[in-house]
């Protein structure tokens, strides 16, 4: 039992195989301070792997089904083995069971590397089993509902690139986040809290590790993921809340110029909806009571079932 | 002494500090099979780090100065501490000294992670020291002079993006290589050996882990790195060979359509110049004697000094 739980997953039972192996064959718990990754593992050498992250709120892993579905989609996009969803679900529960810190909302992360690099001497003989680890951490940076400021920046891609160039891996949540980290350093230089990325032809994409939602009157809008962004899990929880409240929610191509004119903006990630107080220097009103209501709905599980049914429909224009 | 040498570097003496610390304070040698990386290290969590790779030919680390200069440039582009070049040079020599396999050309790699993630509980208290390791490996995939086929693919960016959007990290050799790995899987699907990437406006860039050189008569041409690609180390060795042989060598913006019409094409990386036998289905002649001469010149160190002086000049158009 501890405040930081680290489990090494069994790549063979968590990726591939039918049914759920016994608990002892799913994960083993290790000291978080001890090294667990080989020097020739592709997560370290190439950022070659996928991951998911969310909040566990009072024992409830927020949006877990949608996170594991997205992990499966990422695995498909990067040609990795298919995750065994029921086995991963059980593994996550075993990790949660080891947690006993008073902090109600520790961060959960599931890391999956392609495994040892077959082009190295150490990896050559390995059998292409993914390297998996899961952690639950109450001692790192946790979420806050403090309003944040935001700057817009180009992602460098046109809005039609994803279908034309699937090797760019747009829409896959890979471990190659050096770019995402660089955007956050650029934000620090500019004195803003986060960034919203747009395409070269001027359409809104996503934040480096968050989705974005804009409100215009009673309508909540988010960019269609088929522009080459992640299908937001917390954004879908927020859409579920909006629909339950009798408001409207839509996916579409959203010009960045239109985003800048929104009545309100929200950054969503890791089980949270965080208010945005300014974009590119334009101040936005923040309704603290609404923000609290959205997050309470997400954390209590109230939006959970509805969020599973939400997603873009129709063709991508 | 062994065929796979793995050294964990001392981040404090190899990054920052003046002068070269005693050997025992630079590296320690570890079992290549044992885990050495913490689960909360940014190389594993975010592909957040930089690296260099080359061949050590009969004890001579090819282009080492240019590799370490490029490592310093990558560090600057990703806001990491400045490498101590003399200390890293000594560390590489210590690794080479431990090698005793009969293979003449093992692969050397220098991996530098930003260190433990300060947003995690384990990394919060750490002091931002980079995680460093160096390996020399005779047992992985080694280079061959077999001619390879190549397909061209879009990189998704326009040719003027690098100056406009430095947060894309174009030109930095980061550990976030998921995209580069994906391009190689796309090559396998298409039945070609490697890929050459081009900009959305049709200019030649680089291969996923190599530079490209085109020959037109007696002139060797490579894309200007300011288009947002790495400054090729082996390509500079090859240019040095060309100039020593009385031929011409130039950097410029090279339309992909013009690349496809070259008299010969060469893929350069890791201390090798590898002949290309076809691009997008068009066959190219390969002069095996010329290829051998180029590689002999590079491996013997003959081109080494001249390569240090080569690079693009003038403004980027």
Nearest residue in A to B155, CA atom = A168
Whether B87 and B158 map to the same domain: the answer is no
Whether A175 and chain B come into contact, CB under 8 Å, resolves to yes
A227 pLDDT more than 70: yes
Residue B196 lies in a domain: yes
Q: Does the pLDDT value for residue A316 go beyond 90?
A: no
pLDDT digits (tens, 9 = 90+) for A41-95: 999 999 999 999 999 999 999 999 999 999 999 999 999 999 999 999 999 999 9
Residues in chain B with CB shorter than 8 Å from the CB of A183 are 167
Q: Look over chain A and give the mean of its residue pLDDT values, rounded to a whole number.
A: 97
Q: Is B144 on the interface with A (CB under 8 A)?
A: no
pLDDT of A109 > 80? The answer is yes
ipTM: 0.97
Cα A295 from chain centre: 16
Q: Is B41 on the interface with A (CB under 8 A)?
A: yes
For residue A315, the model assigns a pLDDT of 83
A142–chain B Cβ distance below 8 A for any pair: no
Other CB atoms closer than 10 Å to residue A192's CB: what's the count? 18
Provide the pLDDT for residue A239: 98
Q: Are residues B92 and B56 in the same domain?
A: yes
pLDDT value for B35: 98
Examine residue A59 and state whether it is found in any structural domain, yes or no.
yes
Which among A137, A177, A183 has the least Cβ separation from residue B167?
A183
Q: For residue A24, is pLDDT > 90?
A: yes
Which of the four pLDDT bands, split at 50, 70 and 90, describes residue A7?
A: very high
Which residue blocks in chain B are alpha helix, DSSP H?
Answer: 11-14, 42-46, 64-77, 85-97, 121-124, 161-164, 178-190, 233-244, 256-259, 288-299, 304-307
For chain A, helix, strand, coil in percent to 5 are 30, 30, 40
* Whether pLDDT at B125 is above 90: no
pLDDT band at B309 (very low <50, low <70, confident <90, very high): very high
Domain-ending residue, one of B137, B160, B176: B137
CATH number of the domain encompassing residue B278: 3.20.10.10
The model's pLDDT over B222-272, given as tens digits with 9 standing for 90+, comes to 999 999 999 999 999 999 999 999 999 999 999 999 999 999 999 999 999
B126 and B159 part of one domain = no
Q: Is A155 in the same domain as A128?
A: no
Q: Does B29 touch chain A (CB under 8 A)?
A: no
Of A39, A122, A161, the CB nearest to B37: A39
Mean pLDDT of B65-90: 98
Specify whether B76 is located in the same domain as B189.
no
Claim to verify: residue A163 and residue A246 sit in the same structural domain: yes
Q: Which residue has the tokens 């957040």?
A: B48
If asked whether residues A166 and A236 sit together in one domain, one would say: yes
pLDDT number for residue A163: 93
Measured between CB atoms, does A78 come within 8 Å of chain B?
yes
For residue A15, give the CATH number of its domain.
3.30.470.10
Q: Do B139 and A153 touch (CB under 8 A)?
A: no
pLDDT at B17: 78
Whether residue B313 is contained in a domain is answered as: no
Contact call for B44 and A45, based on CB within 8 A: no
pLDDT for B1 beyond 80:
no
- Is residue A66 assigned to a domain? yes
Shared domain for B46 and B182, answered yes or no, is no
Query: Of A99, A118, A137, which residue sits at a domain end?
Result: A137
In a domain, B315, yes or no: no
Please check whether residues B108 and B70 belong to one and the same domain: yes
| Residues B24 and B114 grouped into a single domain | yes
Give me the DSSP letters along A45-109: HH--EEEEEEEEETTEETTHHHHHHHHHHHHHHTTPPPB-HHHHHHHHHHHHHTB--S-S--EEE
**Full residue range of the structural domain in which residue A179 is found:** 148-307
Do A31 and A107 have their domain in common? yes
Q: Which of residues 42-61 of A touch B (CB under 8 A)?
A: 42-49, 51
Instruction: Please report, rounded to a whole number, the percentage of residues in chain B having pLDDT higher than 90.
Output: 96
Q: At what angle do helices A64-77 and A233-244 cross, to 10 degrees?
A: 140
pLDDT (mean) for B54-82: 98
Q: Which of B33, B47, B123 sits opposite A178 (nearest CB)?
A: B47
Distance from CA of A204 to the nearest CA of B (A): 16
Nearest CA in chain B to A45: B175
The rounded distance, in Å, linking the Cα atoms of B193 and B276 is 9
Domain boundary among B89, B109, B137: B137
- Number of structural domains, chain B? 2
Alpha carbons B57 and B60: distance in angstroms, whole number: 5
| Span A164-207, pLDDT tens digits | 999 999 999 999 999 999 999 999 999 999 999 999 999 999 99
Of A166, A175, A182, which has the smallest distance from its Cβ to B169's Cβ? A182
Query: Under an 8 A CB cutoff, do A135 and B176 touch?
Result: no
What's the average model confidence in pLDDT over B109-133? 96
CB-CB contact of A313 with A250 (8 Å): no
pLDDT at A291 over 80: yes
Contacts of A7 in chain B (CB under 8 A): none
pLDDT of residue A313: 86
A238 in a structural domain: yes
A91 part of a folded domain? yes
Does B179 contact A168 at a Cβ distance shorter than 8 Å? Answer: yes
Would you call A36 and B38 a contact, using CB atoms and an 8 Å cutoff?
A: yes
Q: Give the Å distances, CA to CA, from B171 to A24, A242, B254, B275.
A: 45, 43, 17, 24
B200 touching A, CB under 8 A? yes
- According to DSSP, the residues that pair with B112 across neighbouring strands are B50, B132
Pair A206, A280 in one domain: yes
Contacts of B44 in chain A (CB under 8 A): 37, 41, 43-44, 111, 113, 175
Instruction: Answer yes or no: is pLDDT of A270 > 70.
Output: yes
The alpha carbon of B50 is separated from its chain's Cα centroid by a whole number of angstroms, namely 10
- Domain annotation covers residue B65: yes
- In three-state secondary structure terms, A142 is coil
pLDDT of residue A108 exceeding 70, the answer is yes
> For all residues of chain B together, what is the average pLDDT?
97
């Amino acid at each position: 039992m501890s405040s930081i739980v680290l489990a090494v997953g069994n790549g063979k039972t968590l990726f591939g195989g039918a049914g759920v192996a016994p608990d002892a064959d799913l994960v083993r718990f290790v000291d978080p301070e001890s090294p667990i990754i080989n020097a020739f593992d592709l997560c370290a050498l190439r950022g070659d792997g996928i991951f998911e992250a969310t909040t566990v709120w009072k024992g409830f892993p927020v949006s877990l089904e949608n996170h594991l579905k997205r992990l499966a989609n990422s695995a498909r996009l990067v040609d990795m083995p298919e995750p065994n969803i029921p086995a991963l679900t059980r593994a996550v529960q075993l990790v949660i069971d080891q947690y006993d810190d008073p902090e109600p909302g520790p961060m959960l992360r599931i890391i999956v590397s392609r495994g040892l690099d077959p082009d190295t001497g150490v990896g050559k003989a390995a059998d292409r089993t993914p390297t998996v680890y899961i952690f639950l951490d109450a001692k790192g940076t946790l979420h806050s509902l403090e309003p944040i400021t935001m700057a817009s920046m180009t992602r460098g891609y046109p809005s039609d690139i994803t279908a034309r160039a699937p090797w760019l891996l747009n829409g896959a949540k890979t471990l190659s986040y050096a770019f995402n980290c660089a955007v956050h350093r650029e934000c620090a230089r500019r004195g803003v809290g986060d960034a919203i990325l747009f395409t070269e032809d001027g359409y809104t994409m996503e934040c480096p590790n968050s989705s974005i939602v804009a409100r215009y009157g009673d309508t909540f809008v988010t960019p269609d993921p088929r522009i080459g962004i992640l299908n937001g899990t917390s954004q879908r929880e927020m859409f579920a809340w909006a629909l339950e409240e009798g408001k409207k929610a839509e996916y579409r191509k959203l010009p960045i110029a239109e985003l800048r004119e929104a009545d309100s903006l929200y950054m969503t990630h890791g089980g949270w909806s965080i208010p945005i107080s300014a974009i590119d220097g334009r101040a936005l009103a923040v309704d603290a009571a609404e923000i609290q209501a959205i997050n309470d709905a997400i954390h209590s599980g109230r939006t959970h079932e509805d969020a599973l049914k939400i997603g873009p429909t129709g063709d991508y224009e």
